Amino acid sequence: MGTTEEGSRMEEGSDHNWQRTLKKVVPCVVVLKVTSARSFDTESAGSSFATGFIVDKERGLILTNRHVVKPGPITAEAVFLNREELPVYPLYRDPIHDFGFMRFDPRLLRFMEVGEVPLAPQAAQVGIEIRVVGNDSGEKISILAGTLARLDRDAPTYSSRGYNDFNTFYLQAASGTKGGSSGSPVIDVQGRAIGLNAGSKTKTASAFFLPLDRVVRALNMCKACFSVGENNARTWRAPNIPRGDLQATFIFKGFDEVKRLGVKPDTEALVRSHKRQKTETVGMLVVDSRVPKGPSDGKLEPGDVLVEINGETVTHFIDLEDKLDSNVDEEVSVSVVRGSQMLTYKIRVESLHRVTPACFLELSGGSIHALSYQQARNFSTPTGQVYVADPGYMLSRAGISKHSVILSVKGRPTPDVETLATVLATIPKGEQVPVQYRVFSDRFRKRQSLIYVDRKWYGAPTVWSRDDSAGSWHQIKVYPFDEEESKKELELEATHKSKKCKMSEVPESCDTTGLANGLSGKESVEDPKESISRSLLLVDVEVPEVALADGVHSKSFTGNGVLVYQDDKFGLVLVDRNTVAIGPCDIRLSFCAYPAELHGTVRFLHPLHNFALVSYDPRDLNSDALKVVKPCTILSDPPLSRGDKVVLVGLSGALRSTARDASVTNATAALNIVTAEIPRFHAVNEEVIELDQDFGTSFSGVLIDENASVRALWASFSRQVGGEEREFCAGIHSYTFSSWIDKTVSYLKNFQSSHAHRKSVPVPVMNVEFNALLLSKAANYGLSREWIQKLAEYDKERKQVLRVKSCVTDSNAKAILNEGDMILAVNDKLLSSFYDIGGIIDNHCSKCDQLSFSELKEVDDMKLTVFKDSKIQDVSFKLEVVDGLGTDRLLHWAGAQIQDSYRAVKERGFLPQNHGVYISRWHHGSPSHRYGMYALHWILEVNGKPTPDLDTFLKETEYLQHQSFVRVKLCHLDNKPKVITLRLDLRFWPTWELKLNHQTGEWGRRVIKSI
């Protein structure tokens, strides 16, 4: 009985001690909100929560993990126990081990006193009780109990392509931790930190802690970098902490294993006699790997057992690092056992900071820097190579992925980032040049690709450098296009080509005209399939991440196009909108008839129907190409009908023409595509053609008759089924697009005339989406027998009536029509099909200038005969006019892409009062990401001021400064309002815009505000 009471009192006393300890420690622990602005080395751009704890309250030093401080650019805030929030700045991160320091100004903490947690690495012992104090998954504070189980666990492996710690032991305890607890202190009952939480295994409920031996050394050196000057000004110098390495990884193995590796008994006895801190040695360090071309390459080999450095026995990682850190850039004598031989080598100790990058090249939205020791070790390759941390737009467009190494550009080796930037600065915008690179998944072979040099969507290549004294990054060099150097390069190339031509001149008797004749396949009678192939093109579309407007669902599209017009000034290509979905994009046109590839420019995007028109400059084609590349002939009257024979012709991805004879099974199939989860273009009010035989979803093309006349565009459509993207192909009647080709040609021909001020080709629309309702069903909705009889006699094939499915929000139609209304006639002319709608609108506007927005807007109202509210009514209806290029302006603010509400958003049936500007995208690592200002929201107000349009939004945000907080009122697509606050970061996320030049069809970039 007495024993039980005594044990109970001891337990109560222990609990009381822990309560007293935690009361002292918890106020020293902070929640860290960290946002990585750019991908760098082992870390990706993003936002996360972590933990840190104060280790020097006077200087304001916080200890946390290296993967929290990160090697790249970050912004961070610390939230203290009383919910005060202060900015924190990275001061130091170890090149290898998972620890780093952040700093804050303690004077700014107004409402609480903080202490500091002392570091006691020597107190770590097996069996002691510990507490891990941190935040779990972003929660305020979480305290987990555990027992220290091991002091010599191998360093955990987190990723084969990311950050890993090595050349150190880890502590292990039976205590599981969660996300957000990284950087938590592991404390004993006296309130001392004996380890730093780094990782865990949920399945085994065990956690890994970094020992603090090397942390104490680094902390003391960081403290020496702080000073207080005049007027109590606090200043920090960048820490210069010597860190050395042989670029070799060691692992600890017991004597039972090292004996099998060749360690002799006398050597074992010598090592066993060496006791570190009165602790018996039970094993030795063994070389696990070394980095090619590093200091130890060609000397140390995997399996070597380390015995001595500079004549002193080394059996522990701490001793190893002591020797290396005190001999940076000097040679040390390293003795190892290999097999049964004792070998000694002189090896230079490499500075770890020298092989850890502190600057990067920002290129077309990507990050490129010298290959770090961390990644060189992961991929077993030399450090310092030109490494792709994030490919960005230009490199990803060429198929160059993350974790690649750039070897050369345009035949010039690129051993370092500066050389790469210099070479790219000499290449004109839009030029296509070869690049040689290597990917680590296929490291033994070199690859080649072509990059298109981009200067339109992103700024000039810029080098950023880390400044640890300021805790930030700065631009140190910009590489704009070097026109003079480019001219020199071109002159050298021209001279080289001239010499080659002289060496391989074609004999005078050689006739080169056969190429054109052969390609054109000239015969007395040309086969229709061969004839149409002269008009076919492959259209490749790439959309940069900063231009993913209008809810577009992919960055890359490929489809078939057909040449419909060409003169000496421009050519025009017809293509579906599942290939050219939006205006801001890069287009490459590859001709079937001749091996040529040209840049394309979007000239027309029909707002309702699934087709677009893309122009190109025929002057970029040589004379041979012009002989064989010909526009097609379009025949739209009479329209195709059921039973007609056609030939389906299309191009494969290899530019091979494929044809198939087919019959029309349905020429009046009413298209009905359900609205996608993220609003985007979908074809409406369109009748399509179905065939008995087609290519499936392999590729699109055209339908031609026996005379090679184009009767329809065989177009690709996209729709969502159960949240997944599905594609299908169907024919679009030539009457749908033929008149718009003529209008676009007229528009392009009149650039220099009075039409030059116009935005683009105007499109009169009803702003109504209809669906087809069978007349048999219409009777059940109350439509009279008389009207059913009229419509049945009018259109004996379709036997349908058009019913309103939806109206565009804030349109004339929305005020007049309701869902379910049936449109019976327009201007006293019966209406039963989408074909009728197009004809009626064309006739109604026939007296207007078809390229004049003002005239089309002033056209007289139409009279609609409608079955509405169970009765027949005549209503006055005014057409509206929309721009034939859609969205023409994108604004980037706080890492969010903002635009006016586009048509697909308005089709959903809701707009907030005063509308606001719409967020269509956000970027990882931006303030929008950090504070939750995501896509599918309208920005209604900024700091209480309404922002109904882009100009007003810019006016209300132009005075906001870097690092200032902004209050933003949002409204979701589902009409869910909320208010957030965010802190601006104009250094990495400036305010800028992309704007369309309607005359040239090109987009331009303008920076509005940055630092």
Q: How many domains does the chain have?
A: 6
Q: Quote the pLDDT of residue 230.
A: 81
- Tell me whether residue 485 is in a domain: no
Average pLDDT in the 346-355 region? Answer: 96
CA dist 310 to 246, 272, 320, 333, Å?
A: 14, 18, 11, 5
- Per the annotation, the verdict on 188 as an active-site residue is no
- 3-state DSSP of 399-432: CCCCCEEEEEECCEECCCHHHHHHHHCCCCCCCE
Task: Identify the domain containing residue 306 by its residue range.
Answer: 244-351
- Tell me whether residue 517 is in a domain: no
Percent of the chain with pLDDT strictly greater than 70: 91
pLDDT of 508 > 60? The answer is no
Lowest mean pLDDT among 251-265, 506-520, 569-583: 506-520
C-alpha neighbours within 13 Å on the C-beta side of residue 676: 20
Q: Quote the pLDDT of residue 134.
A: 86
Q: Of 562, 560, 582, 574, which is closest to residue 745 (Cα–Cα)? A: 574
| Rounded Cα gap, residues 329 and 604, in angstroms | 63
Average pLDDT in the 611-619 region? Answer: 96
CB of 732 within 8 A of CB of 712? yes
Q: Of 338, 351, 281, which is closest to residue 306 (Cα–Cα)? A: 338
279's CB contacts (< 8 A; 6+ apart) are none
Lowest mean pLDDT among 372-376, 650-654, 740-744, 917-921: 650-654
pLDDT of 752 > 50? The answer is no
**Three-class SS of residue 799?**
coil
- For residue range 806-864, list pLDDT tens digits in order: 999 999 999 999 999 999 999 999 999 999 999 999 999 988 888 888 888 989 999 99
Terminal-residue alpha carbon distance, the chain: 74
Which of 745, 777, 799 is the last residue before a domain boundary? Answer: 745
C-alpha neighbours within 13 Å on the C-beta side of residue 602: 29
Q: Do 89 and 131 sit in the same domain of this protein?
A: yes
Q: Do 833 and 934 sit in the same domain of this protein?
A: no
Q: Do 317 and 424 sit in the same domain of this protein?
A: no
Q: Do 191 and 84 sit in the same domain of this protein?
A: yes
Average pLDDT in the 157-180 region? Answer: 81
Q: Tokens representing 109? A: 């903490």
Q: How many residues does the chain have?
A: 1011
| Rounded Cα gap, residues 819 and 769, in angstroms | 10
Average pLDDT in the 674-681 region? Answer: 92
Q: What is the DSSP track for 575-602?
A: E-TTTS-SSSSEEEEEESSSS-EEEEEE
461-497 in b/e form (b: 16+ CB < 10 A) is bbbbebebeebbbeeeeebebeeeeeeebeeeeeeee
Catalytic residue among 36, 48, 56, 67: 67
Average pLDDT in the 212-240 region? Answer: 92
- Find residue 1002's DSSP bridge partners: 997
Handedness of CA 483, 486, 492, 494 (dihedral sign): negative
Confidence bin at 721 (pLDDT 50/70/90): confident
pTM of the full structure: 0.90
- For residue range 512-537, list pLDDT tens digits in order: 333 334 444 444 457 888 999 999 99
| Rounded Cα gap, residues 869 and 443, in angstroms | 71
- Counting beta carbons within 10 angstroms of the beta carbon of residue 979, is it exposed (0 to 12), middle (13 to 18) or buried (19 or more)? exposed
| Rounded Cα gap, residues 575 and 716, in angstroms | 9
Q: Tokens representing 190? A: 């006296």
Which of 883, 898, 928 is the last residue before a domain boundary? Answer: 883
pLDDT of 757 > 90? The answer is no
pLDDT of 174 > 90? The answer is no
pLDDT of 95 > 80? The answer is yes
Confidence bin at 202 (pLDDT 50/70/90): very low
Q: Do 376 and 458 sit in the same domain of this protein?
A: yes
Average pLDDT in the 798-805 region? Answer: 94
Phi, psi angles (nearest 5°) of residue 348: -75, 135
| Rounded Cα gap, residues 716 and 728, in angstroms | 6
Q: Quote the pLDDT of residue 699.
A: 76
Q: Do 117 and 208 sit in the same domain of this protein?
A: yes
Confidence bin at 64 (pLDDT 50/70/90): very high
Helices 734-749 and 834-844 meet at what angle, rounded to 10?
A: 30
Which of 223, 255, 283 is the last residue before a domain boundary? Answer: 223
Confidence bin at 177 (pLDDT 50/70/90): low
| Rounded Cα gap, residues 340 and 262, in angstroms | 5
Phi, psi angles (nearest 5°) of residue 881: -120, 130
- For residue range 858-901, list pLDDT tens digits in order: 899 999 999 999 999 999 999 999 999 999 999 999 999 999 99
Q: Quote the pLDDT of residue 94.
A: 96
CA dist 448 to 313, 406, 414, 838, Å?
A: 50, 10, 14, 49
Catalytic residue among 94, 98, 540, 576: 98
Q: Quote the pLDDT of residue 510.
A: 36
Q: Do 613 and 656 sit in the same domain of this protein?
A: yes
Helices 213-223 and 317-325 meet at what angle, rounded to 10?
A: 30
- Tell me whether residue 965 is in a domain: yes
The kind and range of the H/E element at 1008 are strand 1002-1009
Q: Of 872, 877, 870, 868, which is closest to residue 787 (Cα–Cα)? A: 872
Q: Tokens representing 579? A: 């290939």
- Find residue 704's DSSP bridge partners: 647, 710
| Rounded Cα gap, residues 920 and 932, in angstroms | 14
Average pLDDT in the 921-947 region? Answer: 96
- Tell me whether residue 668 is in a domain: yes
| Rounded Cα gap, residues 140 and 626, in angstroms | 70
CA dist 891 to 462, 894, 931, Å?
A: 21, 10, 19
- Tell me whether residue 498 is in a domain: no
CB of 888 within 8 A of CB of 994? no
- Per the annotation, the verdict on 498 as an active-site residue is no
Q: Quote the pLDDT of residue 515.
A: 38
- For residue range 722-734, list pLDDT tens digits in order: 888 899 999 999 9
Q: What is the DSSP track for 670-691?
A: EP--PPPSS------S-EEEEE
| CATH code (residue 949) | 2.30.42.10
Lowest mean pLDDT among 11-25, 26-40, 748-762, 955-969: 748-762
- Counting beta carbons within 10 angstroms of the beta carbon of residue 99, is it exposed (0 to 12), middle (13 to 18) or buried (19 or more)? buried
Q: Do 727 and 787 sit in the same domain of this protein?
A: no
| CATH code (residue 152) | 2.40.10.120
Lowest mean pLDDT among 85-94, 272-281, 639-648: 272-281
Handedness of CA 138, 142, 144, 150 (dihedral sign): positive
Rg (CA), the chain: 35
- For residue range 400-436, list pLDDT tens digits in order: 999 999 999 999 999 999 999 999 999 988 899 999 9
Q: Do 340 and 385 sit in the same domain of this protein?
A: no
Confidence bin at 274 (pLDDT 50/70/90): confident
- Per the annotation, the verdict on 98 as an active-site residue is yes
- Tell me whether residue 927 is in a domain: yes
Phi, psi angles (nearest 5°) of residue 680: -155, 170
636's CB contacts (< 8 A; 6+ apart) are 711, 733, 734, 735, 738
pLDDT of 979 > 90? The answer is yes
The kind and range of the H/E element at 786 are helix 785-794
Q: Do 114 and 210 sit in the same domain of this protein?
A: yes
CA dist 409 to 394, 496, 934, Å?
A: 13, 18, 38
Lowest mean pLDDT among 1-5, 233-237, 436-440: 1-5
- Tell me whether residue 507 is in a domain: no
Confidence bin at 442 (pLDDT 50/70/90): confident
| Rounded Cα gap, residues 101 and 94, in angstroms | 9
Average pLDDT, the chain: 90
Only one residue has tokens 């500066």, namely 418
425's CB contacts (< 8 A; 6+ apart) are 461, 479, 480, 481, 482, 485
Confidence bin at 590 (pLDDT 50/70/90): very high
Q: Quote the pLDDT of residue 4.
A: 55
pLDDT of 926 > 70? The answer is yes
Q: Do 345 and 365 sit in the same domain of this protein?
A: no
Average pLDDT in the 139-166 region? Answer: 86
Q: Do 905 and 855 sit in the same domain of this protein?
A: no
Average pLDDT in the 630-647 region? Answer: 94
Catalytic residue among 36, 181, 206, 901: 181
- Tell me whether residue 6 is in a domain: no
